[in-house]
Amino acid sequence: MSEKLSTVGDIRRALNLIKDKQNLKLFTDEQIAQIRKFEEQARETVLLMQEAIANISKPFEGLAEILRKSFELYGQSLTDIKYFVAEDWYVNDSLFYDCSISDFIDFTKQHNTKKLEQFVLETFEKKQKKIFKKIFGANPERKVIIDEIENLYNQKYYYGLIPLCYAQVDGICKEKFGISFFDTDKKETTRPLKLNSALKATELSSFSRFMSDQLNIKNEMTKNSDNVEDKATSFNRHAVIHGHSKSYGTKINAIRSILLLDFVCELSLNEKKK
């Protein structure tokens, strides 16, 4: 782990590190309060933070200060994750493990769409095998389908891949949570996704919790097809599945749909009733 704790992955590893008394670099009472503040900002699992705080004391104050600042920056950025959803990206924190804190803040605070898309494209290519391995791990009974999705991606058959991903996303959510991902609450004017309410009773990682809390935000993928400006080119789920869209099969849209599938699998893997 980098002493500067410069990436999102460094912070996650630090949280795990300070759970173990053998590895702990102890903190002052003031730093305990700062970590508790981060607990509120980032909504880390209560048990994780309690284990960390229980081991805290005085030595290694320099590392503690670096850790505190990194926690604070990361926690503040998490509150703006809703921007990812607004831009049609449902992602897991593992995608950002090697992302610098400054870039992560740039994505969330500055809403740098082009930079975000470029980062996702480059990172997905590096982590493609791990992503598909995790999707399979969460759904071993769907191995044939998952293998086909990966083969479609490798062969650049994006038109076949995207609707297949959408179908699996709906099916997995229905199986795990009793509600399809794209189901909306028709009683509400904004017609939010029902899954948002269902996940309130599920214990999730801080990153997944912030992402799931944004499921009421409608984007091109999830909004009512009546509100889609150009159905012929949209990757809107309804427009794609029902044959209205004719130009949705791009690489970036294929990656969007795969990462949505990965996100749903992450939610199902983290499912643990309180």
Contacts with 71 (C-beta within 8 Å, 6 or more apart), sequence order:
11, 34, 35, 38, 42
More confident residue, 226 or 40: 226
Summary mean pLDDT of the chain: 75
- Give the pLDDT score at 251: 95
Token code pair at residue 225:
């097809």
pLDDT, tens digit (0-9, with 9 covering 90-100), for 190-202: 666 778 777 777 7
**To the nearest whole percent, how much of the chain has pLDDT over 90?**
32
Question: How confident is residue 273, by pLDDT bands cut at 50, 70 and 90?
Answer: very low
- Give the pLDDT score at 35: 46
Question: How confident is residue 46, by pLDDT bands cut at 50, 70 and 90?
Answer: very low
Token code pair at residue 9:
């992955």
pLDDT at 44 over 50: no
Give this prediction's pTM: 0.71
Most confident of 57-61, 62-66, 248-252: 248-252
Q: What angle do CA 217, 173, 82 make, to 5 degrees?
A: 20
Amino acid at 154: N
How far is residue 270 CA from its own chain's centroid? 12
Mean of pLDDT values over 218-244: 90
- Give the pLDDT score at 212: 73
pLDDT, tens digit (0-9, with 9 covering 90-100), for 93-139: 778 778 776 777 777 777 777 888 888 899 999 999 999 999 999 99
Question: How confident is residue 189, by pLDDT bands cut at 50, 70 and 90?
Answer: low
- Give the pLDDT score at 28: 44
Q: How far apart are CA 107 and CA 102, in angstroms?
A: 9
Mean of pLDDT values over 38-48: 47
pLDDT at 3 over 60: no
pLDDT at 271 over 80: no
Give the burial string for 25-64 (b: 16+ CB within 10 Å, else e).
bbbeeebbebbeebbebbbbbeebbebbbebbeeeeeeeb
- Give the pLDDT score at 258: 96
| Residue whose structure tokens are 């959510």 | 173
Q: Which helix (H) or strand (E) holds 37?
A: helix 29-42
Q: How far apart are CA 143 and CA 195, in angstroms?
A: 24
Q: CA dist 116 to 46, 121, 162, 224, Å?
A: 30, 9, 21, 25
- Give the pLDDT score at 90: 84
Question: What are the extents of the domains in the chain?
Answer: 8-78, 88-269
Count H helices and E strands in the chain, helices first. Answer: 13, 0
Tell me the backbone φ, ψ of residue 193, rounded to 5 degrees: -70, 130
3-state secondary structure of 243: coil
pLDDT at 140 over 90: yes
Token code pair at residue 259:
């990462």
Q: How far apart are CA 182 and CA 221, in angstroms?
A: 9
pLDDT at 268 over 70: yes
Q: Could you tell me how many residues make up the chain? A: 274
More confident residue, 251 or 106: 251
Lowest mean pLDDT among 34-43, 74-83, 245-254: 34-43
